Amino acid sequence: MCVRTIVASLLAALALAPSAGRAQQAGDFDFYVFALSWSPGFCDTGGEAKAPGECSVGAGKGFVVHGLWPDNAFRANPQNCQRGVSIPGDALKLTDGVYPDVGLARYEYFKHGTCSGLDPQAYFAAVKALRDEIVIPDIVKAPRERLTLAPGDLTQAFVAANPNLRADNMAVDCRNGELVDVRICVSKDLGGFANCPKVSGHTCHASSIAVTPIR
């Protein structure tokens, strides 16, 4: 995994720099959870009212970024670590084609990104680099028909497609018998995958789940 090489200089400069007004817990976490939402499943399980554009017929969205969340192995997860943050337009440009819409990108930075210790430019650069790095297995890239898969088979498909990824680095999330997202744990320095029993232990335990086709 080479995300760190993609954004290293940017992160090194900004992650270590002090930021006025930053809450004490910002940057104090154990690992990241990189959440990829399966857009059709999100839309089928209540998301259509929240995101009509993403869920419209012809939107053609499969896996989209839900968020990059600072997480802790045993402590409560940090959220909303800094108030009154401004997100520059240049930073938001990095979210094009990564998040399903700019509103979600803004929300995610305020709730989770402010706890990363990174400013918006560095945070969204890291998100984009991760999205470019993670390989989506062919079987779920753009299915046109409804699939039925065991969660463990989907996990193994991700493991096979991404060098160094293991089952204990990720979780498959389901709701009402459908795939809704895949969560991948990433080390705090963005240099590799992270062991995360807290996350992987909550993977979907259904015998099979539906993967709804793209709209």
Catalytic residues: 66, 108, 112
What size, in residues, is the chain? 215
- Nearest CA among 157, 158, 148, 139 for reference residue 208: 148
Q: In whole angstroms, give the CA distance from residue 75 to residue 73.
A: 6
Q: In whole angstroms, give the CA distance from residue 61 to residue 40.
A: 7
- Nearest CA among 162, 159, 92, 179 for reference residue 128: 92
Retrieve residue 29's tokens: 């976490």
Cα angle 149, 73, 104; round to 5: 65
